[in-house]
Amino acid sequence: MQSSQFLQVGFARVKARFEQKLALWLPDLTSLASRLRDGQVPSDDMKDLCARVHKIAGSAKTFGYPELNHCAAELELLLLARQGQKQSRVEQAKLAPALAEFVSHIEAAAKTGSTMHSETTTAPAQKNASQYTILVADDDEHIADVLEFSLVGEGCAIVRAADGDAALELANKTTVYQWDLIVLDVNMPGKNGFSVLKALKSNSNTAHIPVIMLTRRDEDENVILGITEGAVDYIIKPFTMDDLTLRISSAINRHKVQVLIADDDELIREVLAQKFQRLGYRPVLAANGHEAWQKLQQERPALAIVDIMMPGMDGFAVLHQARHNSATAEIPIIILTAKGQQQNILQGLEMGAHDYIVKPFDLDELSARVSGILRRSRAKT
Amino acid sequence: MKQELKKILYVEDDEDIAEIATITLQELGGFDVCHCFSGCEAINKFAQFKPQLILMDIMMPEMDGPTTLLELKKQPCWQDVPVVFMTARVQTHEQKAYLDLGAEGVIAKPFDPATLCTTINQMWEQSRAK
């Protein structure tokens, strides 16, 4: 029967996600267990622990881990007694070993989960080369469900937030989750998508994570606002699956695209680094020609922006080296030249620069040129 | 006149359990399910959604199942709808306590997806017979 097949597949996916969560939680819980054994643990961490234990006590049995469930239930009682401050000395003493036991059960479950995935027959074949961790922030659970079903099928680990505050809290847990992407709804109660986006981009902990905004068809100005604030892309509801997966994989992959910025002016380096980071790329910096040439060879960026006037090895020398080396010959290079230096532009182009831009430059114009070049070079491969 | 059960308000803070239960209820049972992650959300959505039955987890952070039920009953928009609790910890004396609160029944976790819909329909029939 079609429905029960869907149910089986759905169940397998949810179970897989549960096991992925266990594996993700393991390092944090292990460290917490040893800290608790050695002494006091901050109340925020305890709150976090309670939430996780509660979750496992509620669902482990459903996913086939009755012992883990039992252990979690005992631990939850101990934690609740502690919170209510009615914890007896015996209970206090039990806490650290109970947590240690809990952690070992999780370890066992996470291991079972990972070996089971390679044998699974009910879930559809997963084509994940790298597993992406995606935060989905949307108060509309149907949209979140759809996103989740399609993305989990692609091999992604999805974590959901129902509002802005929850999203920010989760996004900040960068020691627990290696976020590849955040999908953010514009219309959420409380903190709306834009304030969340701003908060994400102004926090150095989370600024580098690419963000895609979800917006309704009739809200065009939101799109511009989002891109200005640093979102890498937007998806308009109602969306098609193809559009969704395409934009998501492109946003995530852009994150892996390196852009070299070579300029002896520190301010220019900072401004450009920030801009490209907000656009979702990974900036690589060089303060002079020699460093630029080194990084070109080492990092093989997708594109390089090189200032002409640099002390020591200048932009021309970098260009020359890059073009005469097979490893770096194909890397598009944009040269930065000062106003009134027409001959630099001509020489640069003749030496193989892809494009040029004159200082003082318009940041948005430069970004547009960069995106254009990268798009065209992607189309070639 | 036999009325069919269509609309269920489902309150569960665990997203994984919620997902399985929601798929089960929607796909196998054909119900129209409104899922809430918390008691607060349930209180907010109750008036608009107008469920015929409430399926509610007991152990939830902040506001647990029984407290949510008490709060719901205080709302001016409250209509007498049958409430079914779901819990991982079912002791007989606890079960009785939930029934005393006015619950129609208690379903134990982990629930069997194959029988969830039948059980819910049974409890619905039971409440209609009163």
pLDDT score at A115: 57
Instruction: Chain A: give the shortest CA distance to residue B69, in Å.
Output: 20
Taking the C-alpha atoms of residue A299 and residue A292, their distance in angstroms, rounded to an integer, is 10
pLDDT score at B1: 52
Contact A73 B23 (CB under 8 A): no
- Out of A62, A73, A148, the one facing B17 most closely (by C-beta) is A62
Q: Is the predicted ipTM greater than 0.95, yes or no?
A: no
B14 contacts in chain A (CB < 8 Å): 55, 58-59
pLDDT score at A307: 94
pLDDT in single tens digits along all 381 residues of chain A: 345 555 667 777 788 888 888 888 888 888 888 888 777 788 888 888 888 888 888 788 888 888 888 888 888 888 888 877 777 777 777 888 888 888 888 888 877 766 554 333 333 333 233 467 889 898 887 777 777 776 665 667 788 888 889 899 999 888 777 888 899 988 888 788 888 998 998 888 888 788 888 887 666 676 667 776 677 778 877 777 677 777 777 777 766 788 999 999 999 999 898 888 777 788 899 999 999 999 998 888 999 999 999 988 999 999 999 999 888 888 999 999 988 888 888 899 999 998 998 988 888 888 888 877 877 766 554
Q: Is B112 on the interface with A (CB under 8 A)?
A: no
- Out of A57, A59, A162, the one facing B37 most closely (by C-beta) is A162
Site from B23, B33, B57 to mutate, A interface, most A CB atoms within 10 angstroms: B23
Instruction: Chain A: give the shortest CA distance to residue B121, in Å.
Output: 18
Element (H, E) at A70: helix A66-83
pLDDT score at A284: 92
pLDDT score at A288: 93
Contact B109 A61 (CB under 8 A): yes
pLDDT score at A2: 45
Instruction: Chain A: give the shortest CA distance to residue B130, in Å.
Output: 32
Closest CA to A107 of A28, A13, A46: A28
Taking the C-alpha atoms of residue B100 and residue B105, their distance in angstroms, rounded to an integer, is 10
B37 contacts in chain A (CB < 8 Å): 162
Sites in chain B below the pLDDT cut of 50: none
- Out of A6, A58, A59, the one facing B27 most closely (by C-beta) is A6
Taking the C-alpha atoms of residue B69 and residue B98, their distance in angstroms, rounded to an integer, is 10
Q: Is A25 on the interface with B (CB under 8 A)?
A: no
Site from B10, B11, B13, B16 to mutate, A interface, most A CB atoms within 10 angstroms: B16
Contact B109 A58 (CB under 8 A): yes
Q: Is B20 on the interface with A (CB under 8 A)?
A: yes
A158 contacts in chain B (CB < 8 Å): none
Q: Is B40 on the interface with A (CB under 8 A)?
A: no
A3 contacts in chain B (CB < 8 Å): 27-28
Distance in angstroms between the alpha carbons of the first and the last residue of chain A: 44
B57 contacts in chain A (CB < 8 Å): 58
Q: Is A363 on the interface with B (CB under 8 A)?
A: no
B63 contacts in chain A (CB < 8 Å): none
Contact B37 A7 (CB under 8 A): no
DSSP secondary structure string, A181-250?
EEEEES--SSS-HHHHHHHHHHSTTTTTS-EEEEEETT-HHHHHHHHHHT-SEEEEES--HHHHHHHHHH
Taking the C-alpha atoms of residue A283 and residue A301, their distance in angstroms, rounded to an integer, is 9
Q: Closest chain B residue to A6 measured between Cα atoms?
A: B27
pLDDT score at A218: 62
Task: Kindly calculate the radius of gyration of chain A based on its CA atoms and give it in whole angstroms.
Answer: 25
Q: Is B32 on the interface with A (CB under 8 A)?
A: no
Give phi and psi for B90, each to the nearest 5: -115, 105
